A and B are shown apart, each in its own frame.
Chain A
Amino acid sequence: MARKSLGNIRRSFAPWADPAATPLVRFDGVTKRFGDITAVSDLSLTLYPGEFHALLGPSGCGKTTLMRMLAGFEPLDSGRILLDGQDLAGIPPHLRPTNMMFQSYALFPHMSVFDNIAFGLRQQGLPREAIAARVAEMLALVKLEGFAGRRPDQLSGGQKQRVALARALARRPKVLLLDEPLGALDRKLREETQYELMDLQAELGLTFLMVTHDQDEAMAMADRISVMERGRIAQVGAPEEIYEMPANRYVAEFVGDINVFEGVVASVDGEIVRLDSAAGLLILDDPAPGLAPGQKASLALRPEKIDILTAEPDGPGNKAAGEIWDIGYLGDFTMVQVKLDGEAGQLVKVALPNRSRKTETPIAWDDRVWLSWDVEAGILLRG
């Protein structure tokens, strides 16, 4: 339900595509080094008001450093960060209009839930009644009414997470920074909280910047994702762009499962490219300007876009023969590994959705099968 409504919002929300839109945050050629290690390298990124942006990458890719630079915890070695057009250089964390939800939550252990949430408001010097009203509003927002008097050590993990969120939201920050916000929750709670966070963000119209190493989390929640690799952004885009149109092999392999067939371009005919690979001559329909025969290229193919057939298919699509190597039943789908014929004997992952409870899988270990996929299913990657 929530997902659906947000889906609609998301489709109509794309300020990054609008050249007239005013950005809220601009990272401009930002670099940060720790000793010999360059954590963030000449990185530029723009966030728009109301956007839910995720920084996605493996640990050590610089995503947390980038966020901490916006919060003011790490000084920049070069470049600048603009918020609402104002350069943040030299502004200490306590004067920045951003708030952060820490991965460890960092709740003050010697204060009640009320005092934790009120802490930021007291620093603003708000009158007592205004603080009480805002704390009550925040507690209602995160559904923790009645918990105001508790201490952090009397809360469950999920409740702590909500208090941390309420505390960070209480000051109505221009940008809310979320450092692995769901990382410490168990799977069930994580999914619930995920949708609640999205609802909250849509409801408040706030700008969220989230750091995560979990691609499912980033895909489900964010309007746009920045996939990071060793201090740089490998690709920025909406989740479906990142998944279906990865800019390079790193992004393709980091986000979701993928099969990569390496080869050499045999012919280019408009948008139709033929690739000579160990799996045979592969055809794909993916615009590739400037690609010429003889160049190295790869075809990347998501497991769910492949069919398994017991007889050789006819038709214009791609096909490859092999035998069933492994079958992994995962409940919602079954992941089948097929070993292709030929010397290379590449293993190809195929995801078969389990749409019915009682159909028997028509395949078994060691069966001879044919793989088939559409010319539009594959992604052309250079190199």
Chain B
Amino acid sequence: MATGTPLPGRGWPAPRWLVVALPYAWLLAFFLLPFLIVLRIALSDTARALPPYAPHWTGWGEAWNFLQALDLESFATLLGDSLYLDAYLSSLRIAATATLIALLIAFPLAYAMASAPRRWQPALLILVILPFWTSFLIRVYAWMAILRPEGVLDALLRSLGLIDQPLALMNTETAVLIGMVYSYLPFMVLPIYTSLEKLDRSLLEAAADLGATPFRRFVSIVIPLARPGIYAGCFLVFVPAIGEFVIPDLLGGPETLMIGKVLWTEFFSNRDWPLASAVAILLLLILAVPLLAYQRFARKEAA
């Protein structure tokens, strides 16, 4: 300040714990608390009322009654009815397949981007990010137009003389996979590109100089050094894919069973909030496994 008066607050700096406490408070208010609420609903009975579950929390005095009234019925249903287990397994399978396909497409893409002349790279990056500027929903609807019988893809292949019957891709698991790979590809490309872009070219020259064929250079140098990016990419694709609702709902068929869809049905069609909450909690636990695995890896890399 021109007058030279000290800034307010100078001389008694904000305690350090306040700075640290802020993110914790945020997590507490917007993650842990909602989670506990969902957990409570999951441990309740279905009720034909508003809200559609019981018991309710009415005060500290009833704590014991409340705890006694909690029940594990919803979780028992989850484990008892094979529908839910199938949905979990099928979600895992579809998410894993989509992640693998995305990796196989994204790696060469990221490699080509990282190998492109420096001045082109910003433009290539923008091309990868560009789809985000359009609504996700609109892009999935566009895939419906492409994949539906007699749609854009059929018409194209037919005019090229490659098929004479419609492909019947719409409302199949293939359509779901196409939609997922398309939607999540940038999340795979970006971290892999970042790790490849940092790769020192002289390492590849050194490997070549020491007698490594192009294939050996790729396997022994490129892949190990791109590994952090590969893990991050797989993680960023797998986690949202497993709980995905919009893509299987719009592109999938009756036989595409995914846990996100089951959750939606339980909440809004069956109005079974406790069961839906139990589904959500199990999903969270399943997602925690890759998360912890990734953190472990990241810590090992850093050490």
Contacts and interface: CB of A to CB of B under 8 A. Distances in A.
Nearest to A173: B209
A93 B220 contact: no
Given A119-B212, A123-B216, A171-B211, A108 B202 contact: no
Given A110-B224, A119-B220, A102 B208 contact: no
B205 A102 contact: yes
B81 interface: no
A49 interface: no
B232 to A, nearest CB: 17
Contact of A123 (B200, B205, B210, B224): B210
A124 B209 CA distance: 12
Contacts of B209: 71, 93-94, 96, 98-100, 168
Contacts of B210: 94, 99, 119-120, 123, 167-168, 171
Given A94-B210, A106-B202, 18 more contacts: A72-B208, A73-B208, A94-B208, A94-B213, A95-B211, A96-B209, A102-B205, A106-B203, A108-B207, A119-B207, A119-B210, A119-B220, A120-B211, A123-B211, A124-B211, A167-B210, A168-B209, A171-B210
Nearest to B209: A100
15 contacts: A71-B209, A73-B208, A92-B208, A94-B208, A94-B212, A94-B213, A95-B211, A102-B206, A104-B202, A106-B203, A106-B205, A107-B206, A108-B206, A108-B221, A123-B216
B109 interface: no
Contacts of B221: 108
Interface in A84-112: 92-96, 98-100, 102, 104, 106-110
A93 B200 contact: no
A160 to B, nearest CB: 13
A73 B209 CA distance: 9
A73 B206 CA distance: 10
Contact of A108 (B203, B208, B213, B216): B203
Interface string A288-308: 000000000000000000000
Contacts of B250: none
Nearest to A95: B211
Interface string B184-226: 0000000000000000101101111111110010001100110
Interface string A145-178: 0000000000000000000000110010000000
Nearest to B211: A123
Interface of B: 200, 202-203, 205-213, 216, 220-221, 224-225
| Most chain A CB atoms below 10 A, which of B210, B220, B224 | B210
B201 to A, nearest CB: 9
Given A99-B210, A119-B210, A110 B205 contact: no
Nearest to A109: B225
Contacts of A99: 209-210
B119 to A, nearest CB: 15
Contacts of B225: 109-110
A185 B273 CA distance: 69
Nearest to B204: A106
B211 to A, nearest CB: 4
B127 to A, nearest CB: 27
Interface of A: 71-73, 92-96, 98-100, 102, 104, 106-110, 119-120, 123-124, 167-168, 171
Contact of B211 (A94, A102, A107, A110): A94
Nearest to A179: B202
The 6 closest A-B pairs by CB, nearest first: A120-B210, A123-B211, A106-B206, A106-B202, A93-B208, A110-B224
A354 B11 CA distance: 60
Contacts of A124: 211
Given A119-B207, A123-B212, A167-B210, A102 B202 contact: yes
A306 B22 CA distance: 76
Contacts of B212: 94, 119, 123
Contacts of A108: 203, 206-207, 220-221
B200 A104 contact: yes
Nearest to B206: A106
A99 B225 CA distance: 23
A123 B200 CA distance: 21
Contacts of B213: 94, 123
Contacts of B220: 108, 119
Contacts of A110: 224-225
A51 to B, nearest CB: 21
Contacts of A106: 200, 202-203, 205-206
B198 to A, nearest CB: 11
B219 to A, nearest CB: 12
A318 B7 CA distance: 76
A74 to B, nearest CB: 11
Contacts of A72: 208
A73 B207 CA distance: 12
Contacts of A94: 208-213
A108 B207 CA distance: 9
B227 to A, nearest CB: 8
Nearest to A115: B220
B236 to A, nearest CB: 22
Contacts of B211: 94-95, 120, 123-124, 171
Contacts of B200: 104, 106
Contacts of B207: 108, 119
A134 B209 CA distance: 18
Nearest to B301: A110
Contacts of A168: 209-210
B193 to A, nearest CB: 19
A104 to B, nearest CB: 5
A99 B212 CA distance: 12
